[in-house]
Structure 1
């Protein structure tokens, strides 16, 4: 058993070493579930900042949580900390200009990634969003996950909080995450101000020591890292020996991903999907259901979460490999948006995440059984495939298919 675990560990480390910078040892990665754990943690970190803060969010909302974090950033500026906030122009389109102005008046540097483009245009740039959720404080701590700067319950106060995750990272990997945040900020600042590279100066090294976890930071962009996150998932799935647990808010995988899951189930791996049952985007929800039949036939277990909104983008494979991040398993995340995930190779971390997912499936998950699914009405099946076809058409109209075809030709 020990030799098998060592082989899996060596393989997963080799996977990233081949394609990316590889796993970084000696970290401490802490799982944070829901905003109840996440927001107090980032507020405490912000209040400890001495030099600089980078915050990236797809959604930054003017609600009790948004104002709470804004107040913490303001306190940091008053201490002489350089604060950089990057938000997405579409995801944060409802953030009032007055709040943006107030942040800037308080000394917070704020940039907008791709201001909203009219929904009536078919330019693929409209779909290329900054979907990352990152906070980096000095070189001491970084947060990566799927949680936006928005109250857990949103406007629906009668529901429990969204089910979501993030991680707090301490150790050498923080420098990798910080560099990524700096580079994206510098690129956006140059586009806005047409100045040279933004230099922030050297910071004192981290005071943290004693971490034991190997972890990697993966991004998806439209330049050098187009398929990194998907490739990491696929390699881990293809090498899985016992169990795959995948929880994802928006699940519409491509053919390679679907086949990898089905083949894993066929070779005896337990494959479990925890997906949305209560969706805030009905088109994607029904499109995902179009794939249920093939998955269920292959023996894949599907659970839908109906208690509140599932917003998680996490996975645990073989009780050792785990990922938490912003990337959904759908065309928008895997092919268009800027995303960021952390991968952790650690049994204790994986067990903590797996335990949460299994408990949620037991208490709040509704299992979709193959026999029951076959009895679904023809109307529901037609609606699911109609939504699936419409989303595929949208991807084609956006221009991605032509661009991807040109890229494949260049690679060949």
Structure 2
């Protein structure tokens, strides 16, 4: 079992903020594709600017590029009928990860979702981050937004591309195998299972882009070989911190180990700052974290709530100004759904220029769009809010009990 990612030198990295910029770079790469596009996402929505990504996939398939699209059965569900027909006509191959049956999410085994957001084009460029194919100015539950959703992704060239491509290809062939089994086509199912285990060195060296040249690697979280990889990477980085830890995380509910690591870091003089969700989005995720605030604030950890719009980022920076900087950008929240159940993917970067760039942007966000939570104001929150917080925390603990997992 591999406990830590392989970091290699020479990656060309571009930090991307927001869906508008992400779609621009993603569509440009897809429009240049000559052989294959592989895309995985939790949400594929077709409103607004997100439809432009669907159109780019359609264009690629129509000119003979092989396009593999995987979406999650909860985050996306069945595609709109119009787009099903358009993708089929163009030749876009689409698979739904763990589609829900009649009983939906009633069974805990159905809570294991595909939450990572990955793309590889021609084995030359990869994208990894937290940005869904979803218009930044639109939310499926809340409608039009007054400010864009805050999230990040990374565009990469280098050995990281092959790491991303291999994990995507393995999942694709496993989904193919399951499909063949359901069709009672067992010879094809066997062939697909064999293909899922193959090492496929398709990645090629791309042309230089003039971006940051950095040491980087891929962090994965799944229910087989990489159950703890992302959590352990965070723990190691926090334990090694000497000056500063800055984490921006949308759905933040750390387990005992991670809470203890943050508290110990603060106690040894490390400045620990958290950028967390400040706007109500989901009952469980919004309220369940509040009972944890008291412990964190008492240890001297700063909590900044992002209030301009919905926070969807899952990024962190440790000691960006020092000799051993560490940063990560990806899909994994620091909560039990991500760290115990979902398939996740983060890029980890050991590079001062990249870490400084992400750190500088987070500093600006805190200064312009966040409210600092004080221990006194937290203690003064009304009783009905405290009640909702405790109810959500209790429901989360019950959900963990039902999964049979410790956190």
TM-score between both structures, scaled by the size of structure 1: 0.89
| Range 144-153 or range 204-213, more displaced | 204-213
CA offsets 1:163-192 (integer angstroms, 9 cap, x no match): 000000011211111111111111111111
Helix, strand or coil at the partner of 1:324? strand
Partner of 2:222: 221
Aligned CA RMSD, in angstroms, stands at 2.0
Matches within 5 A, 1:174-185: 174-185=161-172
Q: Using the TM superposition, give the Cα deviation of residue 21 of structure 1 relative to its aligned residue in structure 2, in angstroms.
A: 4.5
Q: Using the TM superposition, give the Cα deviation of residue 116 of structure 1 relative to its aligned residue in structure 2, in angstroms.
A: 1.9
Alignment partner of 1:394 is 2:371: no
Q: Using the TM superposition, give the Cα deviation of residue 280 of structure 1 relative to its aligned residue in structure 2, in angstroms.
A: 1.5
Helix, strand or coil at the partner of 1:226? coil
8 Å CA contact 1:61–1:94 kept in 2: the answer is no
Distance 1:205 1:395 in 2: 42
Partner of 1:143: 127
Q: 1:107 aligns with which of 91, 97, 106?
A: 91
Alignment partner of 1:50 is 2:51: no
8 Å CA contact 1:139–1:174 kept in 2: the answer is yes
Distance 1:50 1:114 in 2: 30
Distance 2:80 2:69 in 1: 15
| Range 194-203 or range 121-130, more displaced | 194-203
Helix, strand or coil at the partner of 1:268? coil
Matches within 5 A, 1:32-43: 32-43=16-27
CA offsets 1:222-248 (integer angstroms, 9 cap, x no match): 000000000000110011100000000
Partner of 1:408: none
Residues 179 and 121 of structure 1: CA distance in aligned 2, closer, same or farther (over 3 Å): closer
Partner of 1:235: 236
Q: Using the TM superposition, give the Cα deviation of residue 392 of structure 1 relative to its aligned residue in structure 2, in angstroms.
A: 1.1
Partner of 2:253: 252
Q: Using the TM superposition, give the Cα deviation of residue 36 of structure 1 relative to its aligned residue in structure 2, in angstroms.
A: 1.8
8 Å CA contact 2:105–2:111 kept in 1: the answer is no
8 Å CA contact 2:241–2:265 kept in 1: the answer is yes
Q: 2:363 aligns with which of 341, 358, 362?
A: 358
Q: Using the TM superposition, give the Cα deviation of residue 374 of structure 1 relative to its aligned residue in structure 2, in angstroms.
A: 1.8
Alignment partner of 1:272 is 2:273: yes
Partner of 1:208: 207
Partner of 2:341: 336
Alignment partner of 1:370 is 2:406: no
Helix, strand or coil at the partner of 1:100? helix
Helix, strand or coil at the partner of 2:88? helix
Q: 1:172 aligns with which of 113, 136, 159?
A: 159
Distance 2:282 2:125 in 1: 33
Distance 1:294 1:333 in 2: 22
